Amino acid sequence: MSASNNVILRTLGRGVAFLTRSSARLLTGARSIWYGSKPSTEQRIYFANHNSHIDFILLWASLPRFMRQNTRPIAASDYWLKDGLRRFLIQDTFNGVTINRNREGQSDPLQPVKDALTNGFSIIFFPEGTRNLEDDVDLLEFRSGLFYLKEAFPDVELVPVWITNLRRVMPKGALIPIPLLSTVTFGAPLERKEGMPKAEYLQYAASELLKLKEGQQ
């Protein structure tokens, strides 16, 4: 692709990002609560519950502008690279990082995420690894990725984010979001817990995330 075409796509992507951000907040009535942390340019891993394909959009749209430009959502390549429109949205609109959820050979599926962090970006990450479509389950078991990122980047803050009502905002099979009040709650950065075994650390991270949900009840 020529340099001029890249410029056109980036410009178009910025325009679509503005419309998407405005639409997300309008359709969902979203409000942001910073509980235990404040908006900052500090490099962070924002990890959240995962109920819908649009939840990363709502979280991203909830960030102040000065943070959005340096925060990249992590998304599944099997969904977001399926066609040209999705590819344009994730790559040119949101500057997202796509990963293969299934390990192939000796490749590290987290390598694109590690590259983004190495380059100084903050990320939006979903440690459940897939959407939680169970009405009676608050969180699916966390996969190992969050732990390995914490180990590889010990100086990057891990901030839990609870997104409410997204399952109802974008129910399975829906083509457009259903207007409904949603809340994005940002918690305090996790403690480092040096030396804590992987399983225990993931349980700790999940419990800190669930505390944000309980605080809204």
Encode pLDDT of 58-94 as tens digits.
898 889 889 988 999 999 998 889 888 888 888 888 8
Q: Structural domain of residue 55, as residue ranges?
A: 3-214
| pLDDT tier, 116 (very low <50, low <70, confident <90, very high otherwise) | very high
The enclosing domain of 14 has a CATH number of 3.40.1130.10
* Local structure of 97: helix, strand or coil: strand
Count of domains in the chain?
Answer: 1
CB of 187 closer than 8 Å to CB of 161: yes
> Strand locations in the chain, DSSP E?
31-34, 44-48, 71-76, 97-99, 122-125, 157-163, 183-186
Encode pLDDT of 119-176 as tens digits.
999 999 999 998 888 878 899 999 999 999 999 999 999 999 999 865 554 555 554 4
CB of 166 closer than 8 Å to CB of 184: no
27 contacts: CB under 8 Å, gap ≥ 6: 169, 176, 177, 178, 179
Full-model pTM: 0.82
| Structure-token pair, residue 80 | 């977001």
**Would you state the pLDDT for residue 193?**
94
